Structure 1
Amino acid sequence: MASKKKGNRIIIPMECEETGLRAYVTQKNRMTTKDKLRLKKFNHLLKRHSWFSEGKKLK
C-alpha cells in the first residue's frame, strides 16, 4: 500500500512579534505563498491587537 503524498499545504504557528506568544495556528500553501505571513490578531496577554508573524514549522 502506497503512503499518502505530502501536500502543498503546511501548518505553521503564528508568533506575536512583541511577546513571542504562539496563540494561533494556520495553514499556508507553500507553492503560492513564498513570503512569510504577517497578520494583525488579538493578543490575550496584552489585551489588544498586535502583529503576528509566521513562526517555525510544526512537525
Structure 2
Amino acid sequence: MRKNIVLECVETGERIYLTSKNVRNNPDRLELKKYSPKLRRRAIFRETK
C-alpha cells in the first residue's frame, strides 16, 4: 500500500516536495537529499507526520 507523504527541509523547515512510499517496506521515516531553493543547494528533507 503506497501512501503520499510531504518532505520537510531539516534546516529551513520548508515543505515543497510531495512523494509516495510503500509503508510495508519502509515503516520508518524517509530521508532524502533534495534541492532547497532557499539554501540554493542540496539539503536533507525528512518525512513529516
* TM-superposed deviation, 1:32: 1.0
Q: Extract unaligned runs of 5+ from structure 1.
A: 1-7
Cα RMSD for the two superposed structures: 0.7
* TM-superposed deviation, 1:34: 1.1
Give 4+ residue runs of structure 1 displaced > 4 Å after superposition.
none
TM-score (norm 2): 0.92
Q: Does 1:43 align with 2:36?
A: yes
In structure 2, the residue corresponding to 1:15 is in which secondary structure? strand
TM-score (norm 1): 0.78
User: Which residue in 1 is equivalent to 2:10?
Assistant: 17
Q: Extract unaligned runs of 5+ from structure 2.
A: none
